[in-house]
């Protein structure tokens, strides 16, 4: 039961908070879209449609949370994303809330 709840919640959180999950992942190391898709799917056991992923990455770059650099592998190009200072601050803000929510059965 708890396991089904878990899956459902992970699915919801990777959907609704996709941007944050992406930032968190890229924070560990610079990464490109396709790699991210594979990692997320392996790690969280959820499908991540590339039709949702790529627009989100571009959006995050527009907002200044990520920067990108094209890397050539022969003829094929990868768009490698790196997190910015602003992006890190966003992730920090998120982590702060998580901490409160964990401690915070102290909601009175």
Partner DNA sequence: TACAATATGTCTCCGTTGGGACATATCTCA
Partner DNA sequence: TGAGATATGTCCCAACGGAGACATATTGTA
Catalog residues that contact its own copies under the rule CB under 8 A: 1-2, 5-6, 9-10, 12-13, 16-17, 20, 24-25, 27-28, 39, 43, 86, 89-90, 92-99, 101-102, 104-105, 107-108
34 near DNA (CB under 7 A): yes
Please report the beta strands in the chain, taking only residues with DSSP state E, as ranges in sequence order: 31-32, 66-73, 76-83
What tokens does 26 get?
Answer: 């890229």
User: Which option in DNA, its own copies, none does residue 58 bind, with CB closer than 5 to 8 A by kind?
Assistant: DNA
Round to whole Å and give the CA distance between 81 and 65: 10
Helix pair 2-16, 18-28: axis angle to 10 deg: 90
38 near DNA (CB under 7 A): yes
Candidates 21-29, 68-76, 82-90, 93-101 — which segment interacts with DNA by CB under 7 A? 68-76
């Amino acid at each position: 039961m708890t396991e089904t709840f878990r899956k459902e919640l992970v699915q919801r959180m990777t959907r609704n908070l996709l941007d944050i999950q992406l930032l968190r992942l890229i924070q560990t190391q610079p990464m490109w879209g396709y790699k991210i898709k594979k990692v997320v799917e392996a790690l969280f056991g959820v499908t991540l449609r590339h039709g949702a992923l790529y627009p989100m990455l571009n959006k995050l770059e527009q907002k200044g949370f990520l920067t990108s650099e094209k890397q050539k592998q022969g003829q094929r190009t990868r768009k490698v994303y790196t997190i910015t200072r602003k992006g890190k601050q966003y992730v920090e803000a998120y982590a702060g809330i998580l901490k409160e929510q964990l401690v915070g059965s102290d909601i009175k």
